Chain A
Amino acid sequence: MKMFYPFFLLFILFSGCGLKNINTPVATAQQQEKSAIADEQSGDDTELDDFDEFRDELEAEPLYDPLSGYNRIMTEFNDMFYIYLLTPVAKGYKTVLHVEIRKSVANFFHNLYYPIRLVNNLLQGEFKDASEETGRFLINTTIGVAGLFDPAQSEFGLKAHEEDFGQTLGFYGVGSGVHIVLPILGPSNLRDAISLIPDAYLSPIDYTSRDHFTLTDTKKEYAAVKSYEYINEFSLDIQMYEKIKKDAVDLYPYLRDIYEQRREKQIKE
């Protein structure tokens, strides 16, 4: 029995080697519960097939998609719009302006939308992220010349925390609702589409009359600025849409699923 302790010590020592650099396995109560249910349900079958093995990971709730007819048509319209109008325009624009300038334009707009990110971070109780956003805004507006550059990220290591009202609602448990494809803007859902309104109120680019200062006053100005922002953004990665589209067998459900999965992930973050 005397040997027990040295043996034990040795054992622990070597166990430690294996644990180096590794995060401890995460098994959330929920996952354990799920697999327990799955095991219970398939308990009778001695031979489990691959589908049973992955059941709790892949089984999606049946999607309620009453607008699929409209959505399909709008997806077609957007597809034509991106390929025959937006892509050639963005390509022309790209040849005229150097990529660094286009990045600066994108930075400028991103900096303008700071109020949206601030308010939604605060609403979700992300106070650290909200203060980081504020730090970014102050640095980029001053040292970064009105937001054209992003020294907050490159020099101070302050990361942006993208939050919008759709994510805030999702954070408080509001479901996505019916999937809606918006003209030009693309895939969305009831929750996120309605959320565009409160976010627009916080945006300095808007056309409705506000008590506070906005960069645009009329609908025409608004449309011009927004279109420019959109073309500039698209020009930074013209191929992206076509790259995604290449993997689609059926474009509408493919984009719908990618959008919903992406939003779910953003809400969790």
Chain B
Amino acid sequence: MKYIARFFLLVWSLFIFTQSVMANEQLDLKNHLLTKIDEVILIVQDKSLSKSKRNSDIIHTLQSIFDFEIMAKLSLGKNTWNELGKDEQKRFTELYVKRMEKSYSSKLDAYTDEKVEIKEILQPKENRIYFVTDLVNGGEKLEVTYKFYKPKETPSSKHHWLIYDVEILGVSILKADSAQFKDFLKTKTIAQLMDALDK
């Protein structure tokens, strides 16, 4: 009887251990995300910076936490991506990243004094962590979800968890981009898509 009890305790403690490893990983990542958000807020609040310096500083901060490359790849879809040559893949990624940065900067221009509150942390899979946050501005809240994944290998300049998608009010930017690229390519060429991204 004693052995059975001991066996169950062991199994249970193993269960708790795996749970706590996951939770510690979440906690680490949560702190990292909050630090990055604070860094961005500090840059935004620094009125001595010129607009272009400010935006480039912010993008530099974000690059260590966002995986823009995978976003570019996934938004184009497997078939189209694989049809491209190495150079074209590289050019597409560059254009996509540039466009994301531009879009992010223009949104920051409208930034006043919003605050970010983390309301929920989800881990649907071992290598996925989602942060459901509220962007609070006065009485209004905007739900933004940051979706992280853990790549098999990451360059040293980046964190080992990276953002591959952002959802605003439940709308995934990755899916929206994927939808528009797919439709665009039904009637037009990849070269035309790159020109459109370059605009």
Contacts and interface: CB of A to CB of B under 8 A. Distances in A.
A204 to B, nearest CB: 26
A266 B171 CA distance: 11
A211 B168 CA distance: 42
Nearest to B196: A249
Nearest to B103: A247
Given A12-B16, A19-B20, A262 B107 contact: no
A50 B74 contact: yes
Interface of A: 4, 8, 11-12, 14-16, 18-28, 31, 35, 50-51, 53-54, 58, 60, 63, 153-154, 239, 243, 246-250, 252-254, 256-258, 261-262, 264-266, 268
A249 B197 contact: yes
B179 A153 contact: no
Nearest to A11: B13
Nearest to B99: A247
A178 to B, nearest CB: 15
B1 interface: no
Residue among A19, A21, A22 with the highest chain B CB neighbour number at 10 A: A22
A137 B140 CA distance: 19
Given A19-B20, A31-B125, A250-B181, 20 more contacts: A4-B9, A15-B20, A18-B23, A22-B23, A23-B121, A23-B122, A25-B26, A25-B123, A26-B122, A27-B123, A28-B124, A51-B81, A58-B74, A58-B175, A239-B110, A243-B106, A247-B103, A253-B179, A262-B171, A266-B170
B176 A257 contact: yes
B155 interface: no
Contacts of A23: 120-122
Interface of B: 6, 9, 13, 16-17, 19-24, 26-27, 70, 73-74, 77-78, 81, 99, 103, 106-107, 110, 120-125, 139, 149, 164, 169-184, 193, 196-197
Contact of B107 (A4, A63, A243, A249): A243
Nearest first, the 5 A-B pairs at minimum CB distance are: A265-B170, A253-B183, A257-B179, A25-B123, A18-B20
B17 A257 contact: no
A254 B179 contact: yes
